[in-house]
Structure 1
Amino acid sequence: MAGLAVPVWLAEDDLGCIICQGLLDWPATLPCGHSFCRDCLKNLWGARGAGGAGRPWTCPTCREGAAQQPRLRKNTLLQELADKYSRALRELGEDAAPASSPVPARAARPPHRPAPRQAAVQKNIMEVGRELTELVEQLVDIVRSLQNQRCLAEPGPDNELGLLGMLVTSNTSEGKMRDVLHDLEEIQVKLRENLTWKEASEEQTQVELPEAPSSSSCPLPNQSLPAPKKASRFAPWAINPTFDLQTLSCSLEVSKDCQIVTVAHCPQSYPWSCERFSISQVLCSQALSSGQQYWEVDTRHCSHWAVGVASWGMSRDRILGRTIDSCCVEWKGTSQLSAWHMVKETVLGSDRPGVVGIWLDLEEGKLAFYSVANQEKLLYECTVSASAPLHPAFWLYGLQPGNSLIIKQVRV
């Protein structure tokens, strides 16, 4: 038994760095327990002025800071796991093993997950799409900045625009700059539409295979046909909430239809409001005080988020779920899904829901969160009080510009 090899099924997120979104490379573990690539930490701390905001050397995940820069040592166990994962991933690209090769017991692999090779290919395609989208967003921001700044400093390590900015300002007229910005914005829209379409298509065409047939085998379903999309059983109670601009944190920005909220690349100069959150959070305008309501949130474009409900009186400097008048489910960059209710955390597991459905039944005093795929799967349920109206509430971890949450149309 001492030499028994137990198959363990890992996803890239399990051994990933939330800063570079890749596998850990020279992993360093901070005193708080979170791990990142050493170079990613050094670059991040250097870009942010050693943490800034009075909290130097801050952890990107939990924001725990230290008075002095922690000494970064290699976590050899994590490095070994990452190396093994890389080798296994490379082997998936080789020819299949002979038929006589032993196959791990099916029970050791989580059910209803795509084959590792298929999952790896799909993940790589989606990651490339997201990286391209983020790159175009950065280019759009650069051109917009150049339009507002007629004179730029010499390029250097602290100049974010750098050489590209000098070339554009020195060789490009204002009219051409507008044309470049227009073209980039068109590319940005097309990339987002294409990425959204690919994710929707991937979700639609996934077909779950049944368990391995017994001796009395039965025919498999036609796998060439996509799984039918089922209407949500909550469709009769679906609402379409919109973000409230007065509560919007200055680190966030919303789309024109107030259906998409995004972490901004630089602080926004919104008019002052005592209702505005000091951290990257926002409420919706709709005050829910009676009846039954349901809405869905697409979380696939955000690395660390929380969605739920809160009263209008929630403290503007507190995090969602950490107050008695708010409740949420939260996905952490450390591959952990939790529920927060009455300032108490309940760990739900390590599976990340792509779309979260929220069911609020104020007649029964219940709040429930669902993972939405072809049908709703209950994640967490708790009791709520209807003594004060509740608003849909959102938190986006503000470290990575471009992270976004989308209020999704419910299937009918």
Structure 2
Amino acid sequence: MAGFGPAAAVPVWLTEDDLGCIICHGLLNCPATLPCGHSFCRACLDGLWGASGAGRRWSCPTCRQGAAQQPRLGKNTLLQDLADKYSRAVRELEAGPGRAPSPEPVPGPGPAPGSPSHRAQVVAQKNSTDVGLELAELVEQLVHIVRRLQSQSPLSEPGPADEPLPSKTSEGEMRDILNALEEIQKKLRENIVWKEALEEQTQELLESPSSSPCPLPDQSHPAPRRSSQFAQWAINPTFDLGSLSCSLEVSNDGQTVTVSHFPQPYPWSRQRFATCQVLCSQALSSGKKYWEVDTRHCSHWAVGVASREMSRDQILGRTRDSWCVEWKGNSQLSAWHMKKETVLGTDRPGVVGIWLDLEVEKLAFYTVADQEKLLFECSVSASGPLHPAFWLYGLHPGNLLIIKQVKA
């Protein structure tokens, strides 16, 4: 290219979401690009299309654009090269300065990347908080598997040497397993939340100039948080199912959004995001509004506001009508608007408060602990109402964001 020497390198910010497959939630492997422009692992497409019912074969898992006959799949060598370079860069970052990166993994008889057994091996290399998160995700995956098994009918033709168990016994055992897994999942989540709160308060004690002793929080009686200064303007928005990406799931109360283990069969709509993003249903057009988001169970996220007209193939904070703060998962917090990044620091907020004052066209983000502390503020201007907006990227199944109840 003109203007670049043979050894020039242009720094480009990429995440796993840019080079990920929404079917297996891993980096692209032997990527194939469909006529609509979306790319997936070739083996994932073959497996998905082979399992699809009549009438849904050869449709894109992202935009649902179909074809009269199966497209010819060729390897996208450019995407494969980018994925390989991204993997090498990640290993170099993990190795640290002055240390040789770990060698590229060699395919063998071991567990496949992304499988439960592979994830269990990775757990051993992480700190205790990450271990808890990984275990919680594994349990959640097991819950999905048990529920799928519950919905399947028993085999109608057992072998002559096999004596089938009575259906009632099987169903009862399945219920017991599911209840036990859900109880384990609940306790893991509670333990993670308490441990993170304990670590935060311990760090505050170490950094505090005061020498007066302060007791650590009791697990059964966590330290109460003071009421929010924004409580009188607090709202409790709920996620909009119409804009929800097919990579995400929403809880029954509409206030928890989770990266799904499997692509969801939502009906195609022009309002649905192509990437792991979602808006809230509430349109904010006047007055003062405040809400809080618990980000502690998500490794890569962005929260902010966007107009309803935000392009569904664009990313939060990269458009004229969207604003956000974003945690990249690599110890960097940034604010984004119109593709402009403002680096805010390296501290990760566990709970983010969003203050929108439409009377003066002001947007502010706070880190919330025992009180609110300002992270970033900016001006907003939009031709129509704004909606709370969220991005869960990195393609880590089980990652979730929660809209919290604000304490009055």
Q: Report the TM range for the smaller structure's normalisation.
A: 0.5 to 0.7
CA distance in 1, matches of 2:13, 2:340: 21
> Do residues 50 (structure 1) and 30 (structure 2) align?
yes
CA distance in 1, matches of 2:313, 2:26: 26
User: For residue 268 of structure 1, what is the amino acid of its counterpart?
Assistant: Q
Question: Contact 2:25 / 2:397 at 8 angstroms: preserved in 1?
Answer: no
Question: Contact 2:30 / 2:80 at 8 angstroms: preserved in 1?
Answer: no
**What SS does the aligned partner of 1:173 have?**
helix
TM-score (normalised: structure 2): 0.65
Of 377, 393, 402, 2:398 maps to: 402
Deviates more, 1:186-195 or 1:334-343: 186-195
CA distance in 1, matches of 2:25, 2:405: 39
Partner of 2:95: 79
Give the % identical residues. 66
- Relative distance call for 1:192 and 1:79 in structure 2 (3 A) is closer
Partner of 2:170: 173
Of 141, 144, 156, 1:141 maps to: 144
* 1:287-366 aligned within 5 A: 287-366=283-362
Query: Tell me, which stretches of 5 or more residues in structure 2 are unaligned?
Result: 1-10, 17-23, 42-75, 101-125, 156-164, 218-222
Partner of 1:130: 133
Q: What is the deviation of 1:180?
A: 2.1
**What SS does the aligned partner of 1:144 have?**
helix
> Do residues 195 (structure 1) and 195 (structure 2) align?
no
Q: What is the deviation of 1:205?
A: 6.7
Q: What is the deviation of 1:73?
A: 6.1
**What SS does the aligned partner of 2:267 have?**
coil
Of 213, 217, 223, 1:222 maps to: 213
Question: Contact 1:56 / 1:66 at 8 angstroms: preserved in 2?
Answer: no
CA distance in 2, matches of 1:242, 1:263: 17
CA distance in 2, matches of 1:327, 1:404: 20
Partner of 2:259: 263
RMSD: 3.8
CA distance in 2, matches of 1:82, 1:150: 57
CA distance in 1, matches of 2:206, 2:175: 51
Q: What is the deviation of 1:187?
A: 2.5
Question: Contact 2:307 / 2:382 at 8 angstroms: preserved in 1?
Answer: no
**What SS does the aligned partner of 1:367 have?**
strand
- Relative distance call for 1:142 and 1:285 in structure 2 (3 A) is same
Question: Contact 1:341 / 1:382 at 8 angstroms: preserved in 2?
Answer: no
Q: What is the deviation of 1:265?
A: 0.4
Q: Deviations over 1:17-45 (max 9, x none)?
A: xxxxxxxxxxxxxx957799xxxxxxx89
- Relative distance call for 1:202 and 1:256 in structure 2 (3 A) is farther
> Do residues 66 (structure 1) and 91 (structure 2) align?
no
Question: Contact 2:259 / 2:396 at 8 angstroms: preserved in 1?
Answer: yes
- Relative distance call for 1:331 and 1:206 in structure 2 (3 A) is closer
CA distance in 1, matches of 2:14, 2:320: 28
Question: Contact 2:276 / 2:393 at 8 angstroms: preserved in 1?
Answer: yes
Q: Deviations over 1:34-90 (max 9, x none)?
A: 799xxxxxxx89885434555479xxxxxx983444477697786354979xxxxxx
Question: Contact 1:298 / 1:407 at 8 angstroms: preserved in 2?
Answer: yes
Q: What is the deviation of 1:283?
A: 0.8
- Relative distance call for 1:393 and 1:65 in structure 2 (3 A) is farther
CA distance in 1, matches of 2:363, 2:349: 17
**What SS does the aligned partner of 2:375 have?**
strand
User: For residue 95 of structure 2, what is the amino acid of its counterpart?
Assistant: Q
CA distance in 1, matches of 2:245, 2:131: 29
> Do residues 186 (structure 1) and 183 (structure 2) align?
yes
Q: What is the deviation of 1:300?
A: 1.1
Question: Contact 1:204 / 1:229 at 8 angstroms: preserved in 2?
Answer: no
Higher relative contact order (CA 8 A, sep 6+): 2
CA distance in 2, matches of 1:46, 1:368: 34
TM-score (normalised: structure 1): 0.65
- Relative distance call for 1:368 and 1:175 in structure 2 (3 A) is same
- Relative distance call for 1:46 and 1:312 in structure 2 (3 A) is closer
Question: Contact 1:133 / 1:192 at 8 angstroms: preserved in 2?
Answer: yes
Question: Contact 1:56 / 1:67 at 8 angstroms: preserved in 2?
Answer: no
Question: Contact 1:280 / 1:398 at 8 angstroms: preserved in 2?
Answer: no
CA distance in 2, matches of 1:296, 1:280: 20
Query: Tell me, which stretches of 5 or more residues in structure 1 are unaligned?
Result: 1-30, 37-43, 58-63, 85-122, 153-167, 213-218
CA distance in 2, matches of 1:201, 1:237: 29
Q: Deviations over 1:313-342 (max 9, x none)?
A: 111111111111111111112322111123
Question: Contact 2:321 / 2:382 at 8 angstroms: preserved in 1?
Answer: no
Q: What is the deviation of 1:233?
A: 1.4
* 1:240-259 aligned within 5 A: 240-259=236-255
- Relative distance call for 1:251 and 1:398 in structure 2 (3 A) is farther
- Relative distance call for 1:77 and 1:138 in structure 2 (3 A) is closer
- Relative distance call for 1:183 and 1:51 in structure 2 (3 A) is farther
User: For residue 301 of structure 1, what is the amino acid of its counterpart?
Assistant: H
